[in-house]
Structures are given as C-alpha cells and as structure tokens.
Structure 1
Amino acid sequence: MNRQELIPHLFRTEYSKIVSVLCKTFGFSQIALAEDIASETFLTATETWGLKGTPKNPRAWLYQVAKNKARDGFRHNKVFQQKIKPELEHRNTTSIELEIDLSEPNIKDSQLQMLFAICTPIISKEAQIALALRILCGFGVTEIAKAFLSNKETINKRLHRAKEKLRAAKIDLGIPHTIAIEERLDNVISVVYLLYNEGYYSTTSEINIRKELCIEAMRLSLLLLDHEPTNLPKTNALMALFCFHASRFEARSNKDGEQTLYFDQDIGAWDQELIKKGVAYLRLSSLGTAITKYHLEAVIAYQHTQPNDSKEKWGQILQLYNQLLQLRYSPIIALNRTYALSKAYGKQVALEQALKIDMKNNHFYHLLLAELYSDSDRKKQKDHLELAMVTATTDHEKKIILRKLDKAKQNGI
C-alpha cells in the first residue's frame, strides 16, 4: 500500500481509536480538542512522511505523535487547566503527565464506552448514527453527508448540536452497570443495525452496496461481543444477521456495479466461510429465552443462503415474517411477507394481501405488484413497473426496472 493509500486507510482505522481514548482519559467534554488532536496527528503524518518517508511502524508512530500532541494540547487548554486538571489531581492522578493508554485492550474499552455514550435517546437516531460514523468509524463529513443524502453544512450542524447536547447532559463515558445495560443496549444495537442497513440496502446512495458501512457495523458489533456483559443472545443474533447478508456481497453486484437480483446471483460467489460464522453466531443466539427481531431476521437471512427454491423453504420464511409482524408491524415487513406468500402459495393468494398494503409511494411495492400481475394481467404489470420507475430513488434501482420493462415488452405487452 503506497503512502497516498496508507494515510486515508489509517485515518479510517485509527482516528476513532485516538479520539475515543482521549475522551475516556480526559472526559467527553473535551471531545472537540480530542478530534483536533487526532486530525493534527494525521496532518503531521502527511507532511512528515512526504519528506522523510513512511516509518517502519506507521501505527506506533501515529500513537506516539498523538500522545505528544495530547499532552501539549491539554497543557495549554484553559478549560482543561481550570476544570479537568483539578479533578484528575483529586483522583490522585499526575494530571498532565498521566499515561495516555493506546494499548489494544484500552482502545476497545474506550470505543465501546463511546458507543454507549453517543447512543443515548437525548439525541435523535440520525444524530446518533452521524456521531457513530464520525467518531467511531472515522468518516469525513462529506461521506456522512452522502450517506444521509444531505450536505456538509447540515451534517456539521447536526454533529455540533449533538455534541453540545451530550456535553450539557454531562454524559458519562463509562459503560453502564450490568443492571442498566439491557435498556441502554437496545438503543446501541438499533444504531448499529441501522448503520448496517444503510450500507446493505444503500437507499441514499447510487452505489448498490456500501461495504465500508457494513464492515464498520460488523466491527462495532464485535466490540459488543468481546465485552462479556454485552455478549448476549441478541447481540449474537445481530452478528449472525450481518454475516449471512455479507456472505452474498460479491454476488449482489455485477462487474459494472449494478445490482443482481437474488435469483440471478452466482451461488458460487457466496462466501461459505461467512455463512459458517453466521451459523455459529446463530447457535449462540439461541441460548437465551427471548426472541428478538434480530433472531428472526437472522434466520430469514440464513434461509436466503440456502440455494433451494422449494415451497417448504418459503413456507418457513413466511412463518418467520408472521412472527416479525407480531413483534411490530412494518409495511416493509408486510411487503416481504407477501413475496414469501407468493412463493409458498401462489401469486393470486399473495395479490389479495398485497393490495391491502398502503405503500403507493414505494417502488418496491410496485415491483411486487408487477411480479404478482405478471401471469394474470400484463397491462397492470406494465403500469406498476412504470410507477416503480417514477418512485425509485437511485439510478441503479431505475436500471433494474428498465430491464424489467424491456423484458415485459419482449413478452408482448
């Protein structure tokens, strides 16, 4: 990896570690200074490595520079001197000279604590995800703006407001006590799940799959699994779900980056090792008594890694969707259930259910109706494909619909 590629790669992997450790050491109130120090560290690397070449151990070099900049930065920071330093001294710590611990165990602890800190209901889900992307995943503001189909100014304001709220609330960077973990953990899992979904379904991007978002969500999920109090059945179910979806990454796109639908995917491109890992996590998720939506979605995703197209398989998927709807109704789940119904019991039975769903502004709804009408009413099939084209939000979705329209015309519509 050359220097032009190395520094952006290290920024993505190490920026969040440096910020999290500094915030754990000096408090969340110092997050702005921590981010400045991390950014300045990489700026120094860009300048120094360009003149002197890349050091033998780039990561260790970054950590040492970050430590030096942290000591200098906090030493000259007025707020730190007046408020933070006395508190550290009260704890019998040699304030400014205390060790900034960038060891692997402390990095993991710091990032896990940061994850719990930012996944608090006092800020919106959008703000929680934006902060997770910025602080824990090392995403730039431009990248976050793309993920939210927004602009840099809006994202900067969102991040600033969220940090101010967390500072004002004096959010503790410690992981909650075991008794409180359950209620806090649900929100954490939800944010990680939403982050993965944005990468996997990419509803706000022209790219079919944003693998970097999925990978970061999986990394955050592993942080939870590496911590005993959060290594619970539902966190294992979440990781199983991620593994099953990720196993089909390569098959979901063709060489031009366009989406390949499930039944057109090359089964040989499915990652069998990831499927095995998913099965292992799924088994661990079964050790508890509660069944969450992550359990049910993980089993559905597992079924999709099985290449057979039998009615029995789709009947099992249908029952899982029934259970999901019992947990919490969602039009998207109802839509997916209807497709499984069509595979298990036929298009006419499914059509009656599909017409009861109110999703007229969603292209997936019209795509499903087009499929269900394909054997009985070609005119309605075409009408719904055209409506799907109008309601689709990205170019790669429209390309798929255009191919379906062309195929329908070839069949005499």
Structure 2
Amino acid sequence: MIAVLCRHFGLKHIEIAEDIIGDTFLKASEHWAANGVPENPAAWLYTVARNNAKDHLKRVTLFETKIAGNLKPDEAAPEPGFEFAGEHISDSQLAMIFAVCDPGNSTESQICLALQILCGFKVEEIANAFLTNIETIKKRLQRARTSLRNSHFQIKALSGPDISQRLDRVLKTLYLLFNEGYFSKTNDHLIRNELCAEAIRLTLVLTENPLTGTVQTKALLALMCYQSSRLDARTGNSGEIVLFDEQDPTLWDKDLIEKGNYYFVLACQGNQASKYHIEAGIAYWHTNPAAVNKWPHILQLYNQLILIEYSPVTALNRAFAISKVYGHEKAIMETAKLKLTGNDQYHKLLGFLYETTDPGEAIGHYRKAVQLTRAKAAKRVLEKKIEQLENKNGG
C-alpha cells in the first residue's frame, strides 16, 4: 500500500504515505472490533487508504507546505484518483524496491530500507537479518530516509543498466525476507509462512521479466521452492520445530519440489554460479532423503559457499555437515574453532553434538542457547531438550 501511494505521489512524501497507511490500519482496528471483520478485508483497507489519501490532498495546509512549493508554474496538482489493482500493486512494490536500492545509499542501507518499508520488518528483525545491533540499523535507516527526502527520487521505469546495477541488492532483500519467514528469530512463531509466500511471489515476478529473469534470480527462486516444500513438516502439533532428521517426508510438498527442480535447471544454463546456486544445490540434496552419499555433496557445497560469502550461519551449517560425514568428534573441534559464544545457534549445535558423548556438556550448551534465544517457541524446544537429557541421565 505504501508502494502504491509513493508511486503516485513520489518517494519524497514517503512519511506522508506511511502516516496514511498507519491511520488506515488504526481505523480498521476500531471499526472491525465494533462491526466485525468485513467479507473482503483487503478491499476495505484499500478503499479507506485511497480515501485517506484524497482527504490529505484536499487539505489546504498540506498542499501548500508539501506539494505546492515543489510544483513548477506550468504543473498542475496531481490527480488523486488511483486504484489498488493487483497488477498496480505488484508493479509498484517491485518498482519501489528498485528505487530504494539506489547506488546513492550504501548497500546495507538500501536493503534495510526496503525490508522496513516494503516488507514490514521491525528494526529488531532487520538487525537479526544482518546479524548486527539495533542502534546500527536505526542509524542506517535514518541516513537512507534523509537521502530519499533530499533527492528528487521518483518511482519510474528503470533502464536496463539501472536494473542490472541494482538487481543484486534486490535479490539480497528478497533473500533476507524469505529467511526471516523460514526461521524467525524475533517472532513467537518460528515459521512465518506469509513472509515466505511474499518473497516467492516477488521473486517469481522478477523471473518473468526479461531484464530481471537472470540465472541468479532463477536460482534464488529454486532455493525458495525447495525450502518452502518442507514448511508443513518443520512444525509439530504444538508449533514446535521438527528437526530435519525427524521430519515426515510424506508432508513435503512435491509440487514445490518439482517447481524447484524446474527453476534450478533453468538457473544452471550458462557458466555463472552465485551463492544462490550453491544454496539451491544444498536445498536440492535435502529434498532427496534417500540419495546415496548426499552429505559429502552437501559438505562440498558448504566448502564452496563459505569461500564465496562467509557468515556464522554458513560456518555452523558446514560444521553440522561435517558431523554427518566425519562424526561428532570432528564436528565439535570444527565448531569450537568458530568461537561464536554469543550466538544461540553455536550453543545449540554444540548441545546436539555432545548429546551422545557428554550429556552434561550438552545440557550446559543448551542452557546458554536458551539465554541467548529471543523467540519463545525456540526457547520451548531447547527447554524440552534439556528436560529430556536430565531425565535420561537421572537429573
């Protein structure tokens, strides 16, 4: 909704657009509480947002201070009539992602702003996505917003070179959006299906455009399809996470796996290989539980991935793959070298690796993971692990 308003009125009025949408949802919370949720909630929101936008433009003070001063003598006031049509929404959202990913801002600031404005991320969620602190993200967002206000930004059709220059940042934004949905670190629900679905929808739109349907885009879509195919199997009846080795393969979505295969084949045409290709390859092997020697293949891919783009998550996943190929003792040594003592996943992995050889050490790491974990659902899973180990070993 913000994207559509900004496309119509200009990105320099982004705060006004956000205020309009905020007021729209406030009215919804009041009206729906008293009268019930309407039959078509989205249409209700779009109608109120459109009317709110028209009301804002009719106010003389707002027109004089925010619009009239910026108009040239031969310019007329913008026509407030517009619709929230499906194609318009999709086009506006993607157009705004590309507009926000302007080279004038740093790559990190561009992605932060896109995640906040277009994807609804909270500052805490963005900080988790970037593995950094909240204050750093606040400063990046402030600088990026100031840059937007000071520039004559417009959401318009971009040239081929502009799209090529910005596409990597757009793909990174959609990648982070999907990751937050696939394993949320800040939400009470560890899996947020709506974020995964939105990331897939936007990436699919990119694949259908000749300028943005690159092999990297198709590899990212393949990765999302593979990962999404296991969403229903990743949670139990109480909302707890079900580990990969304990998942029921019959719950995996075979149609999504086939779509992943389709886009992965398309992504592998040519000589280019990105981090999305490698991660899609890892996800592909995970959708083939009966494959012979799949873990050596997965470990080899992690070895390549860590050279392309190191991250604590990749390093920990690689250590888990080592445990599958060379055993837990070797994996413990590799994990300890990382020294990620402030990372909950680090202690969670060590807890898992120590379970069979040193339950006391495993419990200690699981307790540290509980202290570092923010999501309540994740805490419950770890606490259950601790309880099982204590009962098994007599407290």
TM > 0.5: yes
- Paired residue for 2:190? 208
Q: Which one-letter code corresponds to 1:81 in the other structure? A: A
Matched, 1:81 2:64: no
Contact 1:243 1:277 in 2 (8 A): yes
Q: Unaligned regions of 5+ residues in structure 1, if any?
A: 1-15
User: Is 1:279–2:261 an aligned residue pair?
Assistant: yes
Counterpart of 1:192 in structure 2 is: 174
Instruction: Quote how far apart the aligned CAs of 1:249 are.
Output: 1.4
Q: Which residue in 1 is equivalent to 2:328? A: 347
With normalisation by structure 1, the TM-score equals 0.78
State the distance in 2 between where 1:246 and 1:104 align: 24
Aligned mates of 2:224, 2:325 — CA distance in 1: 26
Following TM superposition, by how much is the alpha carbon of 1:161 offset from its aligned partner in structure 2, in angstroms? 5.8
Partner amino acid, structure 2, of 1:21: V
Q: Which residue of the partner structure matches residue 388 of structure 1? A: 369
2:234 to 243, 249, 252: 252
TM-score, normalising length from structure 2? 0.81
Q: Number of matched residues?
A: 385
Match of 1:11?
A: none
User: Which amino acid in 1 is paired with 2:13?
Assistant: Q
The one of 63, 69, 90 aligned to 1:108 = 90
Q: Counterpart of 1:356 in 2: which secondary structure?
A: helix
One-letter amino acid of the counterpart of residue 144, structure 1: K
Is 1:148–1:204's contact at 8 Å kept on the other side of the alignment? no
Structure 1 position 144 matched with structure 2 position 144: no
After superposing the two structures, state which structure 1 stretch, 350-359 or 257-266, moved more: 350-359
Corresponding residue to 2:286 among 271, 296, 304: 304
1:330 aligns with 2:298: no
1:406 paired residue among 373, 387, 390:
387
| CA distance 1:46–1:343, shift in 2 (3 Å) | closer
The yes-or-no answer on 1:365 pairing with 2:346 is: yes
Counterpart for residue 4 of structure 2 = 21
Query: What is the rounded CA distance, in whole Å, between the counterparts of 1:47 and 1:332 in structure 2?
Result: 42
Structure 1: which amino acid aligns with 2:188? E
- Distance in 2 (CA, whole Å) between partners of 1:86 and 1:50 is 47
Instruction: Give aligned-pair identity as a percent.
Output: 42
Partner of 1:132: 114
Deviation at 1:308, TM superposition (A): 2.4
Q: Distance in 1 between matches of 2:171 and 2:228?
A: 18
Q: In the aligned structure 2, how far is the partner of 1:128 from the partner of 1:61?
A: 31
User: Does residue 356 in structure 1 map to residue 337 in structure 2?
Assistant: yes
Comparing 171-180 with 205-214, greater Cα deviation is found at 171-180
Tell me how large the CA RMSD over aligned residues is: 3.7
Amino acid at match of 1:352: M
**Residues of 1 paired with 2:105 and 2:123: CA distance?**
18
The residue type equivalent to 2:93 in the other structure is Q
What is the rounded CA distance, in whole Å, between the counterparts of 1:361 and 1:50 in structure 2?
A: 43
Deviation at 1:180?
A: 3.0
Shift of 1:59: 6.4
Shift of 1:72: 5.6
Query: How far does residue 129 in structure 1 lie from its aligned partner after superposition?
Result: 5.4
Match of 2:221 among 215, 234, 239: 239
Q: Matches of 1:273 and 1:333 in 2, distance apart?
A: 28
8 Å contact kept, 1:85–1:96: no
